[in-house]
Amino acid sequence: MQRYLLYAVIILICVHSLMSSVNGCNTKLRPPRKKGKDCLGRDCNKNQCRYSQGGCNGCVGSHAWCSGYCTILS
């Protein structure tokens, strides 16, 4: 019984850490697009932002089940 409880706790900890790290999947948390920065908040593809216009050079929040979004990294 204790072994199953331990497994359940480990699985819950893993799921919790994964769910808190997928902010890129939540479209409400993405930055709004600004004039001249049309790439902000657009979906990334394979950890790369395909929108070179606007100066985006990074991808935030990409995972196996979520594309993430383009941003400007400093």
Residue 5 pLDDT more than 70?
A: yes
The total number of residues written for the chain in this structure = 74
Please give the pLDDT value at position 9.
Answer: 93
CB–CB of 49/70 below 8 Å? yes
What average pLDDT does the chain have?
A: 79
CA-CA distance, 29 to 31, in Å (whole number)? 7
Number of domains comprising the chain: 1
CA-based angle 34:69:16, to the nearest 5?
A: 130
Is the whole model's pTM more than 0.85, yes or no? no
Which residues span the domain enclosing 40? 2-71
